[in-house]
Amino acid sequence: MSEEPGTITHGEQGDLFLGIGGERFVLASDEVRNLLFTGRVTPVTDARRVRRDDGSEAVEVAIVGHAAINRAGRAVLFHTTAGHFIIPLVSLQRVARGEAVSAPLFPLVPDWEAPP
């Protein structure tokens, strides 16, 4: 799991990209709307191009985590295979609307891993 901070950036079609420790995850634009307007838990995906045996290319999409608004409604939690992160809801909204190019993701360190 990554303990270094990540970033969230705005994509061309309204997708949000999570850059975490050299990996790039996607929160699709439809899922961003579901998250922000209905508060539903949404999947975080990883899309990779793969070359098939017959020489053609395909895009494999895998769900690698999820995003959810916290109980207080002031932050968004990202749980991915690269770690657990948090961002203030207002920062995510600004990136989703295109008002900000990017925003930092802050790592969540479980209580049992926190230094004394």
pLDDT in tens, 58-96: 777 888 999 999 999 999 999 998 889 999 999 999 999
pTM of the model: 0.81
Which domain does 11 fall in, by range?
A: 6-108
24 in a domain, yes or no?
yes
Give pLDDT tens digits for 3-51.
Answer: 567 899 998 888 999 998 888 899 999 999 999 999 999 999 987 766 7
Environment class of 75 (CB within 10 Å of its CB; exposed 0-12, middle 13-18, buried 19+): middle
State how many domains the chain has: 1
Q: Pairing between strand 6-10 and 57-69?
A: unpaired
114 in a domain, yes or no?
no
22 in a domain, yes or no?
yes
1 in a domain, yes or no?
no
116 in a domain, yes or no?
no
**Neighbour count for residue 9 (Cβ, 10 Å):** 15
User: What is the SS3 assignment for 94?
Assistant: helix
